[in-house]
Amino acid sequence: MRRLAQFDLPEGDGRHGPGRRTVLRSPLTDYLRYELSACPGNIRAGESIGIIDLAEHKVTGLPDHDFWLFDDRDVYRMHYTPEGKFIGGELLPTGRLREYQGYRDVALTRAVPLASYWKRHH
């Protein structure tokens, strides 16, 4: 299981820029290890990456699907086949923006930095 929240971090919090929070459940699959091993280059390029492991922490207030929040104004819900193949993103109505900003804020406060997570699980 893996879910992804991708967004630009809000200005004024000292972390402005692109960010991603991955929600998963350990133990890590080989594919998740592979996916996470590619992240250090993104971090060096300025992306903030954090992990929420539901096997370690109960976290409520997050959706059960991937989403991307662009420029703090456009929300796309990602859709996949039952086998996990990406089939497209759905632009959600602007009335849902605050809901997804709230999801982003929960993810920001509950995630641990990828580097510290990786040390414990690699």
Tens of pLDDT, residues 57-91:
899 999 988 898 888 899 999 998 888 788 999 99
How do the domains of the chain map onto residue ranges? 2-121
- pLDDT band at residue 9, thresholds of 50, 70 and 90? low
- pLDDT band at residue 38, thresholds of 50, 70 and 90? confident
Q: What is the DSSP string of the chain?
A: -EEEEEEEEPTTSS--EEEEEEEE-SSPPHHHHHHHHTHHHHHHTT-EEEEEETTT----S--SS-EEEETTTEEEEEEE-TT--EEEEEEPPGGGHHHHHHHHHHHHHHPEEHHHHHHHH-
